[in-house]
């Protein structure tokens, strides 16, 4: 039920009990958990030795401003760079989206990480938290590029997790810092923001992260706390059968539900399968909150586990990867010279 954050580069003594707790489904890693690839592989192995092979290991490795592992990994350009190419050559941009995804996913799988929370399917319409993390402002362009990204992740043996449903890009507020309210009618959200999610769900994505945004035309609570958004629209209307995942419960906009326990229960009661408790200072309370709850749907969580990936040695002796890396990293050089 929970994806929890750890404090440092190794599993601390108090964290061993967290990993063995029945309500913990896995770990989300951050830059604070990374020194180099050798350390990362040792940490992933330790997590599973302590908590079991079933534990999921995730990270945000989008590229651009959100890339937790940098030294020793390909420096990935922001998705907006691919969207800029789309305006000149849509076919080339689709190819770059697949290659970006494959490089990102294959490198993580070589280190034992199951999945990245990717791709961002929000529209690039000025949100402070999204910015260059989104492909494009146009729903059709975003849908095509996001679907290509999903294909690239799948080719590398990685599940894909869209974010932030039903769309975080069309309001200015950063939900890390404040409550966010999107007053548009459902018909507008369906026409624009839902289109990339719908097309990627048709491509069989394994996970969807919910937005901490309130859409009062649909529900009074943020989407991650809303059974209307999760059960009626995401699952009923769009036919999504994978894992619904909350955004981090420590974000300011998550406070609508109350304290840590109320935030955890609010997400799970609404239909989330996984709840993110990213900061170690909330993990004890989050684990206590789920102690008497029934476990999440096992099939949905199992689908998030990575397939057998290539080793790092095989990646470095791979001419195709060399071509992909050269092409995607050139996007930042092109932007710098523009």
Which whole number is the average pLDDT over 135-141?
A: 97
Q: What is the pLDDT of residue 301?
A: 96
176 is catalytic: yes
Is residue 19 scored above 90 in pLDDT?
yes
Percentage of the chain beyond pLDDT 70 is: 98
Q: Which residues of 143-169 are buried (b: 16+ CB within 10 A; e: fewer)?
A: bbbbbbbbbbbbebbbbbbbbbbbbbb
Q: Is the dihedral of CA 317, 320, 325, 330 positive or negative?
A: positive
For residue 22, the 8-state DSSP code is T
Among candidate residues 114, 193, 247, 248, the one labeled active-site is 247
**3-state SS assignment for residue 117:** coil
- Judged by DSSP in three states, 59 sits in strand
Residue 292: DSSP 8-state? T
Q: What is the mean pLDDT of the chain?
A: 94
Question: Is 193 part of the annotated catalytic residue set?
Answer: no
pLDDT tens digits, 199-246: 999 989 999 999 999 999 999 999 999 999 999 999 999 999 999 999
* Distances in whole angstroms, Cα of residue 338 to Cα of each of 81, 92, 93: 12, 18, 18
Planar angle of CA 81, 278, 272, nearest 5 degrees: 85
Percent of the chain at pLDDT above 90? 87
What is the C-alpha separation between 30 and 11, in angstroms, rounded? 13
pLDDT tens-digit series, residues 251-285: 887 888 799 999 999 999 999 999 999 999 999 99
Q: Assess whether pLDDT exceeds 80 at residue 338.
A: no
pLDDT tens by residue, 307-319? 888 899 999 999 9
**Res 12: pLDDT:** 97
């Amino acid at each position: 039920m929970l994806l929890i954050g750890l404090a440092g580069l190794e599993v601390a003594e108090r964290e061993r009990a967290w990993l063995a707790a029945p309500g913990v489904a896995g770990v989300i890693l951050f830059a604070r958990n990374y020194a180099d690839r050798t350390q990362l592989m040792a940490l992933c192995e330790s997590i599973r030795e302590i908590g079991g092979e079933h534990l999921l290991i995730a990270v945000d490795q989008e590229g651009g401003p959100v890339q937790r592992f940098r030294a020793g990994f390909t420096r990935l350009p922001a998705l907006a760079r691919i969207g800029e190419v789309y305006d000149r050559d849509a076919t080339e941009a689709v190819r770059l989206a697949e290659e970006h995804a494959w490089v990102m996913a294959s490198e993580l799988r070589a280190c034992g990480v199951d999945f990245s929370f990717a791709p961002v399917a929000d529209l690039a319409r000025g949100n402070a938290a999204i910015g260059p993390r989104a492909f494009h402002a146009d729903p059709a362009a975003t849908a095509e590029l996001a679907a290509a990204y999903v294909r690239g992740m799948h080719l590398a043996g990685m599940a894909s997790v869209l974010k932030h449903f039903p769309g975080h890009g069309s309001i200015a507020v950063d939900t890390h810092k404040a409550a966010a309210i999107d007053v548009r009618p459902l018909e507008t959200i369906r026409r624009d923001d839902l289109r990339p999610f719908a097309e990627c769900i048709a491509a069989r994505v394994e996970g969807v992260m919910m937005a901490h945004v309130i859409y009062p035309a649909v529900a009074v609570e943020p989407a991650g706390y809303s059974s209307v958004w999760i059960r009626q629209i995401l699952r009923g209307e769009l036919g999504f059968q994978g894992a619904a995942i909350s955004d981090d419960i420590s974000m300011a906009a998550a406070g609508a539900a109350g304290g840590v326990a109320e935030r955890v229960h609010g997400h799970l009661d609404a239909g989330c399968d996984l709840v993110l408790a990213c900061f170690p200072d909330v993990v004890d309370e989050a684990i206590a909150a789920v102690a008497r709850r029934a476990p999440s749907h096992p099939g949905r969580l199992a689908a998030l586990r990575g397939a057998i990936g290539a080793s790092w040695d095989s990646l470095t002796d791979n001419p195709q990867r060399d071509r992909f890396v050269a092409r995607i990293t050139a996007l930042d050089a092109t932007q710098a010279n523009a």
